[in-house]
Structure 1
Amino acid sequence: MHELAICQSLIDQVEAIAHERQADTVISITIGLGALSGVEPQLLKHAYPVASADSIARDAELLIDELPTRIRCNACGTESDVPPNKLVCPECDEWRTTLISGDELLLMSVELQTAEPAVAQRDY
C-alpha cells in the first residue's frame, strides 16, 4: 500500500508549510488527484489518519478533488476531456494523443489556523 508513503510525504509538506506560516493547527488539506495517477482515493483516505496521527495535521480534513483526464490529439490538435480508459480523440478518433493532465497528484491548498496575536497591555 504505497498510499501510506504518499500520505507521509504529504504530511511532511503540510508541516513545513504550517511551520513557515507559524500556524498552530491545520484545518483542511485539499489535493488534486488524476484518475491515471496510480493512487486510489479510498486507500489514501484510509491511510491519512495513520500518517497524520502525531502531526500538526492530525485533526485536519483531507479533501480530494478528482482531476479530469485531458488529451491533445496529435493529428487535429483538439484538446478534450476523456474517460481515463479511452485516450482517443473524440473529434477524429485518432489514437495518437498526448496526455495533458490526469496523472497528477497535487497539493492544492492547506487551510491553517494561527494563534491570535497577543495584545500588549500597559498600566498607565
Structure 2
Amino acid sequence: MHEFSIVQSLIELIEQYAQENRAKKVTKVVVSLGILSGVEPHLLELAFNTFKEGTVAEDALFVVELERLKIKCKECHAESEKDQLNILCPVCGSTDTQITGGQDMLLKSLELECEDET
C-alpha cells in the first residue's frame, strides 16, 4: 500500500511547517487529491490516522478534497472537468485532448495552533 509511504512524507512536511511556524499542534490538514493520482482516498485517510499518532498532528482533522479530471481539447479548444476516467472531449467527442489536472496530490492547507509570542 503506497499510501503509507505517501503519508510518511506528508507527516514530515507537516512537522516541518509546524516547526517553522512555532506551532504547538496542527488541528486540520487539507489535501487535494486528483482522480488520476493513483491514491485511494480511504486508504490515505487510514494511513494518516495511523501515522499521526505521537506527532504534532495527532489530533488533526484530515480532509481530502477530490479534484476532477481536467482536459483541454486540441480540436475545439474547450476546457472541461469530468468525473469519467477517459480523455474524450465532452463538447466535440475528440480524443485529441491534453490532461491539465486531476493527476496530483497536494497539501492544500494546514490549520496550526501556535505558541504565544511574549
1:117 Cα deviation after fit: 3.3
Greater Rg by CA: 1
Aligned to 1:52: 52
Aligned to 1:75: 75
Answer whether contact 2:69 2:85 (CA < 8 A) is retained: no
Q: Secondary structure at the match of 1:19?
A: helix
Q: What are the equivalent positions in structure 2 for 1:23-34 lying under 5 Å apart?
A: 23-34=23-34
Aligned to 2:97: 97
Alpha-carbon distance in 2 for matches of 1:71, 1:19: 38
CA RMSD of aligned residues (A): 1.0
Aligned to 1:18: 18
Same amino acid, percent of matched pairs: 36
Aligned to 2:110: 110
Answer whether contact 2:31 2:63 (CA < 8 A) is retained: yes
Post-superposition Cα deviations, 1:38-73, rounded to whole Å, max 9, x if no partner, equal 000000111112211121111111100011211000
Q: Secondary structure at the match of 2:80?
A: strand
Q: Secondary structure at the match of 2:62?
A: strand
Aligned to 1:121: none
Answer whether contact 1:36 1:84 (CA < 8 A) is retained: no
1:75 Cα deviation after fit: 1.1
Instruction: Give the letter for the 1:95 counterpart.
Output: T
Instruction: Give the letter for the 2:59 counterpart.
Output: D
Q: TM-score, normalised by structure 1?
A: 0.90
Select the structure that is richer in strand.
2
Alpha-carbon distance in 1 for matches of 2:88, 2:15: 40
Q: TM-score, normalised by structure 2?
A: 0.95
Q: Which runs of 5+ in 2 are unaligned?
A: none
Aligned residues: 118
Moved over 2 A (4+): 115-118
